[in-house]
A and B are shown apart, each in its own frame.
Chain A
Amino acid sequence: GAVVSQHPSWVICKSGTSVKIECRSLDFQATTMFWYRQFPKQSLMLMATSNEGSKATYEQGVEKDKFLINHASLTLSTLTVTSAHPEDSSFYICSGKREYNEQYFGPGTRLTVT
């Protein structure tokens, strides 16, 4: 299957700082990438849909000014958590859509805000 990487896999930051998470499709071009967050023992919640070269579409309740998404190329999307707070601590997962029906997930990034 196709490979999606995320960097970093784990990050700890102080409250008030910003953190950038990268999502890369390594062996395919992803015209659409999705960003999810997952709290412990819960399901994945879609945060936003990112299309290359255009603004991301955010789900209801997700602050677009807090969670900045950039999809500058067909292989890279970034999620920046600005002015992070402890309640932003979560597991963030990206996925890339390659073609019909195929969506491949990255390994996830565990964010801890102290």
Chain B
Amino acid sequence: AQKITQTQPGMFVQEKEAVTLDCTYDTSDPSYGLFWYKQPSSGEMIFLIYQGSYDQQNATEGRYSLNFQKARKSANLVISASQLGDSAMYFCAMRESPNTGNQFYFGTGTSLTVIP
């Protein structure tokens, strides 16, 4: 079974609007971490936001927020007030047992295009 599922291969959003990128995960480990990365055309992976499995509140970082629904095993990324520079690939990732240095599992990514 896929550890991380991103069902939206491509998304379009109007500039200044909000957009939600979906991510569901699969794990039986009670301790895990969820991450979102942005990869522009240059290729560099840019860390956006992190949510721990025991965190009570949804993570927020500036215009990025993570809608964490533990029972549904979903960790959707919400980008508010989209900007043209937000156009990129977005990857959801998970690491189980965070303290053990375990590998990251990546989703297949969502290509976001911001329309002026």
8 Å CB interface, A30-47 against B: 31-32, 34, 42-46
A71 contacts B by Cβ under 8 Å? no
Which residues from A are CB-within-8-Å of B104? 34, 44, 46, 95, 103
A100–B31 alpha-carbon span in the complex (Å): 13
B99 touches A93 (CB 8 A): no
Q: How far is the CB of B87 from chain A (nearest CB, A)?
A: 15
Provide the main secondary structure of the chain A interface: strand
**Interface residue total, chain B, C-beta cutoff 8 A:** 21
**Which residue of the partner chain B has the closest CB to A91?**
B43
Of the residues A42, A49, A107, contact of B108 by C-beta under 8 Å: A42
A105 touches B45 (CB 8 A): yes
B109 touches A43 (CB 8 A): yes
Which residues from A are CB-within-8-Å of B44? 105-108
A43 touches B42 (CB 8 A): no
Q: How far is the CB of A74 from chain B (nearest CB, A)?
A: 14
With A91-B43, A104-B47, A107-B42 known to touch, is A44 a contact of B98 (CB < 8 Å)? no
With A42-B108, A43-B108 known to touch, is A49 a contact of B43 (CB < 8 Å)? no
A45–B46 alpha-carbon span in the complex (Å): 17
Which residues from B are CB-within-8-Å of A1? 47
A101 contacts B by Cβ under 8 Å? yes
B103 touches A101 (CB 8 A): no
B43 touches A107 (CB 8 A): yes
Which residues from B are CB-within-8-Å of A43? 91, 106-109
A37–B43 alpha-carbon span in the complex (Å): 12
Report A's interface with B, CB cutoff 8 A: 1, 31-32, 34, 42-46, 49, 51, 59, 91, 93, 95, 97, 100-101, 103-108, 110
